[in-house]
Structure 1
Amino acid sequence: MLSSHCLNDDPWNKFPFTGFVAMISAVLTLMVDSITTSVFSRSGKEEPHADVASAYTPDQEMGRSHHGDHGLNLSDDKELGSTLQLLRYRVIAIVLELGIVVHSIVIGVSVGATNNTCTIKGLIAALCFHQMFEGMGLGGCILQAKYEWVKKAVMAFFFAVTTPFGVVLGMALSKTYKENSPDSLITVGLLNASSGGLLIYMSLVDLLAADFMGQKMQQSIKLQLKSYAAVLLGSGGMAVLAKWT
């Protein structure tokens, strides 16, 4: 959108603003991810059992409270490592939810504001695939975070309603929102680039890298090759959808 012919050549067509904004967004996401993880890790070290009690079953709590002095330090180290890993999963879930929410609202506004029937059909088809895979990824992160059911329900609710909310907002703004106007193209383009950079960072660093560098994946070259093929196939499929729409 930022390279549209409807925008002035200077500066929009003389500099790749989409890639630049996506890069800045990815770096800012790294900063937020790193600082948030650091803060959560410090709080976890100071009070290692304060925020993760719900992640343990009553039997696990009983076992933790009645273990003997033998191997106490080793057990505490393992518990601290598990606590920090759990906090890490929660940071990933929160940041990923934020990026998906922003991106979903922008997509919903685009669908609701357009008056072109052909465009709507393509966007809805792409939206179904897009939201399905995003939901699968976010759902896995939420399960790993081991939130209480109330927090899980809230996060699932926001994921479910943001796109319809964007569609309704786009329909309400359809009379004043002009899809090819410079202001609309710049606004939507910047939001798409920002959310795209955030999601690229999350998918590569916090999701794919964590899986590919895991013990199970590292023990099997065949599994790695199959996983790489699946990633490339999925990326190609989404690229085809983007080109089609």
Structure 2
Amino acid sequence: MARNNFNLLVAISVFLLVALPLASGEECSSKYEGGCHDKNAALKLKVIAIFCILVTSMIGISLPIFTTSVPALKPDGDLFVIVKAFASGVILATGYMHVMPDSFEDLTSPCLPQRPWQKFPFTTFIAMISAVFVLMVDSFSSSFLKKKLALSSSSNNLEDPAITEPKELEHLGHGHGHVVANGNDKNVNAEDEQLLRYRVVAQVLELGIVVHSVVIGLSMGASENPCTIRPLIAALCFHQLFEGMGLGGCILQADYGTKMKTIMIFFFSVTTPFGIALGIGLSKVYSDTSPTALIVVGVLNAVSAGLLNCMALVDLLAADFMGAKLQGRMKLQLWCYVAVLLGAGGMSVMAIWA
């Protein structure tokens, strides 16, 4: 999956490099133009933004992973559940309050032809298809991995009925000393199915965040308006910190090995700075109001919005709130709802400055 993320970044970069310079947006003025326009000052702020966002992103995604030594922050602890609910609210608000409005703005821009862009709600349509696609990927991936795990377990049991762990589970890093025998086989399978689901959720969620991060970084990198960039730095740092905590919690629950954790931390941390650097490089030929740029960025934002909204509601919030831990403890469930509202509210307020 990490390799797929890298391929996606390369594909987006090449597409933008080839397509955007070919489009002309002379009939529309840039949304970044105005009284505050200073190329040198904007460049300094963008360099600062690359460093600040990189550091903040690394801190956010690493906090859940490297605080497992604190008993209260372990995945089965109450505080971890509350923090994860807060971060899930941040991810939910990111999709609804940041990404989707940006897509609406791009795909309904007066710089695009009235037909079909003004006549059909492409943003919500693409977001809907994206959400269904996420469910398909989630479902098919889980089915495939379950069948693969079942075949591996059956094969190992035929060779040695008293084997402790099938090789597949050792590779997954899931070793709790259960015996794969007639008495305990059902319990092990249930645990491994949950682990596989955590892994699918973590990978698909990171994919959606990577797409959005490149797009938003590109927009900042292409801007030459320091009055716009300055508040964006603070908003994006807040955004990356708590979005990273949400993703970091999912990675922690997925129980990856050190190598895979490092790869996922790296991709999350560098995508927004990469987008900013790409925008700086394209600033001379990139027109944020050219028809091609508006369509490409608008479609990518719509896809990301559908993915983030689906993941936040179905795989993060619904999975936790309908799970046995919260269903059996009303007080903890109430605190988690408060955390969700605080996270979503805080990220929504950031839309004023973003």
TM-score, normalised to structure 2, is 0.63
**Conserved 8 A contact 2:201-2:250:** yes
**Conserved 8 A contact 1:104-1:163:** yes
RMSD: 1.8
> Where do residues 43-58 of structure 1 align in structure 2 (5 Å cutoff)?
43-48=148-153, 49-53=166-170, 55-56=173-174
- Number of matched pairs: 236
| Residue number in structure 2 paired with 1:36 | 141
Give the Cα separation in 2 of the matches to 1:185 and 1:225.
Answer: 42
The one-letter amino acid of 2:227's match is C
| Residue number in structure 2 paired with 1:68 | none
**Conserved 8 A contact 2:142-2:196:** yes
Deviation at 1:106, TM superposition (A): 1.0
1:182-227, CA deviations, whole angstroms, 9 ceiling, x for partnerless residues? 2211111110110111111111111111110111211233333332
**Conserved 8 A contact 2:210-2:271:** yes
Question: Please, which of 108, 130, 141 is the counterpart of residue 3 of structure 1?
Answer: 108
Deviation at 1:56, TM superposition (A): 4.2
The one-letter amino acid of 1:4's match is S
| Residue number in structure 2 paired with 1:183 | 292
**Conserved 8 A contact 2:232-2:353:** no
Give secondary structure in 1 for the equivalent of 2:184: helix
Give the Cα separation in 2 of the matches to 1:51 and 1:95.
Answer: 21
Instruction: Choose between structure 1 and 2 for higher RCO, CA contacts under 8 A separated by at least 6 residues.
Output: 2
Give the Cα separation in 1 of the matches to 2:294 and 2:308.
Answer: 21
Question: Please, which of 237, 244, 247 is the counterpart of residue 138 of structure 1?
Answer: 247
Give the Cα separation in 2 of the matches to 1:243 and 1:15.
Answer: 27
1:46-82, CA deviations, whole angstroms, 9 ceiling, x for partnerless residues? 114233215245xx44x648xxxxxx42311111111
1:151-197, CA deviations, whole angstroms, 9 ceiling, x for partnerless residues? 11111111111111111111111111111222211111110110111
> Where do residues 187-226 of structure 1 align in structure 2 (5 Å cutoff)?
187-226=296-335
Bigger CA drift: 203-212 or 117-126? 117-126
Give the Cα separation in 1 of the matches to 2:115 and 2:228.
Answer: 28
Deviation at 1:235, TM superposition (A): 1.9
Question: Please, which of 306, 330, 340 is the counterpart of residue 231 of structure 1?
Answer: 340
Question: Please, which of 120, 123, 129 is the counterpart of residue 18 of structure 1?
Answer: 123
- In structure 2, the CA distance between the partners of 1:222 and 1:131, relative to structure 1 (3 Å rule), is same
**Conserved 8 A contact 2:217-2:276:** yes
1:95-126, CA deviations, whole angstroms, 9 ceiling, x for partnerless residues? 11111111111111111111111221232222
> Where do residues 105-144 of structure 1 align in structure 2 (5 Å cutoff)?
105-144=214-253
> Where do residues 83-98 of structure 1 align in structure 2 (5 Å cutoff)?
83-98=192-207
| Residue number in structure 2 paired with 1:240 | 349
- In structure 2, the CA distance between the partners of 1:4 and 1:241, relative to structure 1 (3 Å rule), is farther
Deviation at 1:228, TM superposition (A): 2.2
Give the Cα separation in 1 of the matches to 2:232 and 2:275.
Answer: 13
The one-letter amino acid of 2:124's match is G
- In structure 2, the CA distance between the partners of 1:222 and 1:56, relative to structure 1 (3 Å rule), is closer
Give secondary structure in 2 for the equivalent of 1:51: helix
Give the Cα separation in 2 of the matches to 1:241 and 1:10.
Answer: 33
Percent of paired sites with the same residue: 58
TM-score, normalised to structure 1, is 0.89
The one-letter amino acid of 1:139's match is G
| Residue number in structure 1 paired with 2:261 | 152
**Conserved 8 A contact 1:106-1:166:** yes
The one-letter amino acid of 1:126's match is A
Give secondary structure in 2 for the equivalent of 1:52: helix
**Conserved 8 A contact 1:111-1:124:** no
The one-letter amino acid of 1:174's match is S
Give the Cα separation in 1 of the matches to 2:115 and 2:260.
Answer: 47
Give secondary structure in 1 for the equivalent of 2:315: helix
**Conserved 8 A contact 1:108-1:166:** yes
> Where do residues 154-169 of structure 1 align in structure 2 (5 Å cutoff)?
154-169=263-278
